[in-house]
Amino acid sequence: MPVADSSKPPSPDVEICSSDGDGEPFCFTFWSNDSKGIEVRRKGCFQSPDDCSGHTSCVSHEKTKSLHFCCCEGDLCNKEFFYEPIWIDNEGDNQMYDLPTIPKVLVIVIFIVSCVVAGAYAIKRRQYSCISDKHRHIQVAHNLSAEESGLRPIELLEVKAQGRFGVVWKAKYKNDYVAVKSLSLEYYQLWSNELDVFKLPKMSHENIVHFIGGEDRSSSIPKAYWIITAYQELGSLHDYLKFNTVTWEQLCIISFTMARGLAHLHEEIPCEKSDIFKPSIAHRDFKSANVLLKNDLTACIADFGFAFVFRSAVCDSNHERIGTKRYMAPEVLEGVVGFSNYAFLCMDMYACALVLWEILSRCCVHEDAESKYRLPYEAELGENISIETLQEFVVAKKGRPLLKEAWKNNTLLSNVCEIIEDCWDHDAEARLSAACVTERFSWYLRSAVSSDTKLIV
């Protein structure tokens, strides 16, 4: 199986293999197991459909004294290897034939010698089968024991959310609760991308979910890739708004901290060392379900599987339509996205406007507060909407979720309506930046809360 992103350069522990045209390349491991412990003699690539085809795990069944050889089919299949001897009984009528002692010993000796010779021949053969190519990645693993794998002792407690890519668990690590996002194996690239984003310089921020670690659990049961973050008891903004309304002050707190987190994500920040900096990052799947709430109702942004890190001033043109379709900007729906960094950030701001609309619709300042939480465009287009329906309403008709007259006529809420309209402008370049939205809500928050409140910045 090909690796998820073969365009990335391999790590020092990865060997690159190619097929000779007769089939998929295979992996092998040759190791010894004696009184000194397990020692990997060699790992690499091997093209031998007859010997390895159909074996997805690297398992040796050869009953030898100390040397073992196994091969398997599939990307990274020799990450771990095992020895499982097969004990062969006499078949037929299950009769046991009493052979003389000397022939038994002779058979055992011949068997051991044959295994050693076959193993040596296989190694020699594989030395000529490992061809350098940029299409296959086979990991060479050196750590085999569970203790050396670095996996944290985490106890999964309760499923909190489930989506098309995986499951989010409430879990316990040491004495603290944590959130574990468990991704299915086919979504390795999302897991890898999110890890890359979290590991960037200056990503630690009070309005970005606190990252604890990422773990490759592809060899565990169940097989998965984990992202471990701080656990937020209130859950996502989406879930909170379904069952709660908010006051004007709470609206300002949530909106300000959410915008500040997005502004930090978008900002390019120099670090202490001149050659290191935090690049600008576009979220590309910004929505209320990816905004988490802390106990004080301050927000933190999560889920960076689709995030795009800007390494240069211009993005390449190979970007498919990704994210949650309900929150896709008009230019994304229309397929006319610009390839500058700024164009990608503008898409986030359109989605931010929809999230602000969700918060506003649940604000109890006015008598016309929504009695039931609704997603953006749910009132206009229904719960299950298609790309084609959105293209017709959002692009062709330039429709947007309704901003009620009661909101526009309210002294406080009219300010939020103005921000929302500026953020979901059909012209992407006319939209407000996250930093500008942060600044406006900072002013509203200062006006809404007392001067001794710690939330004032």
> What is the per-residue pLDDT across 297-309, written as a single tens digit (0 to 9) for each?
999 999 999 999 9
How far from each other are the two terminal CA atoms of the chain, in whole angstroms? Answer: 52
153-211 pLDDT tens trace: 899 999 999 888 889 999 999 999 999 999 999 999 999 999 999 999 999 999 999 99
Identify the pLDDT of residue 49.
55
Q: What is the mean pLDDT of the chain?
A: 79
DSSP 363-385: BTTSTT--SS---TTHHHH-SS-
Q: Per-residue pLDDT tens for 374-385? A: 999 999 999 999
Give residue 170's domain range.
Answer: 152-230
More confident residue, 278 or 11: 278
pLDDT at 454: 43
147 belongs to a structural domain = no
Identify the residue with better confidence: 10 or 91.
10
- pLDDT value for 398: 97
pLDDT of residue 182: 96
- Distance, CA of 268 to chain centre: 22
Among the candidates 213, 230, 247, a domain finishes at 230
Q: Are residues 316 and 415 part of one domain?
A: yes
* Per-residue confidence (pLDDT) for residue 449, from 0 to 100: 66
Whether the per-residue pLDDT at 5 is higher than 50: the answer is no
Residue 9 lies in a domain: no
Tokens 């890739």 identify what position?
225
Q: Which residue has the higher pLDDT, 291 or 140?
A: 291
207 near 301, Cβ under 8 Å? yes
Residues 22, 70 within the same domain: yes
- Is position 456 within any domain? no
For residue 253 the two structure tokens come to 């707190």
Residues 205 and 90 in one domain: no
Q: Quick one: pLDDT at residue 54? A: 72
Report how many domains make up the chain. 3
Catalytic residue among 285, 303, 348, 425: 285
Examine the residue annotation and report whether 285 is marked as an active-site residue of this protein. Answer: yes
Mean pLDDT of the region 68-79: 80
Greater confidence (215 vs 219) lies with 215
67 and 181 inside one domain: no
> Residues 422, 377: contact at Cβ < 8 Å?
no
Per-residue confidence (pLDDT) for residue 125, from 0 to 100 = 42
Mean pLDDT of 350-362: 98
Output the pTM of the full model.
Answer: 0.66
Instruction: Tell me which of 230, 246, 276 is where a domain ends.
Output: 230
Block residue for tokens 């701080």? 230
